[in-house]
Structure 1
């Protein structure tokens, strides 16, 4: 879905839209070397209701296939003097490894809060997640984002910090994730381009990801 990569927002979609797109991303492996992925993605937005997104990624290993999806819904906003609007919402997302063993199953439930306007905003998103790798794990996360946009160009900076498995008590899990998103909507054309970069900052390791996506509008 468009917007900060690590923190879903709560602003309701301003218009109906349907986008289909392709992307290419590079993601570091355990040794820091890049691994290339191709992706197909779709996004459906219904005005003042919800956003629904789905991404299919094909990895470098033979048969590696990952599905990622997200659903974001907002509630009517409250207007605040000088601050724009305050919007609560809810978001559900998942990472599902269909084939290969490159990632673990993960399901996240978030309660995003957005303050400002779609042109300048601050977002906070506490999350509760379930992860299954070698065994089940339950985690808490806190995500935040700041965004600035015009009618044709938008930029968002987001961050997420998660806990370790809550079964062992509360403790932070590294790395902390940082992401920068740049979105371009050329005037008069039914398409948009997105550039995403992410860093994982840990005490003893550094991971990264960079992606470029092109989407065509199929419904307005």
Structure 2
């Protein structure tokens, strides 16, 4: 309850959608990571709460099932991290085994509405980045950005499956690996300029040295 109250510190007006009264808000300057919504059905005498903590959503629904979300709340849900999101700052980098080739450097995105994970790997002597999304995205090309304490690295990525959930971009010629090796804390992520959570930088140097040694000179 204390977290819920904090995450409604900056709150919008009480509104109505059919029989449902609702409101939403966020902790000061923490929209997208620490926020909440409240649905009230006075006819059924039940409430439903959606609570984001560090970018992960938990829904507290009535015993009889979830209430229908008003359009404003559906829009909030679509633009915010979901129930399967990873809480910020996320887990350290790790080696991801790949059959028949060297392992990839892998990290889960944290507090992201759309990005599930990112990985770096070698292909034909060159480094590449793969991005896995949790929902289909239209188009053939995107710009995926890493923000390292105001040092921005933009990568052009291309659709790599028909569903639009897997995207690949070349890393050579960019300072991405250099920043991953030297920066600390977290890097903030963007797709086409839209904030997409963050990625931990913990353990990145050791993992990258192991996975990219055949295509990057350290």
Same fold per TM (> 0.5)?
A: no
Higher RCO (C-alpha 8 Å, min separation 6): 1
Greater share of residues in helix: 2
Greater share of residues in strand: 1
Q: TM-score, normalised by structure 2?
A: 0.29
Q: TM-score, normalised by structure 1?
A: 0.29
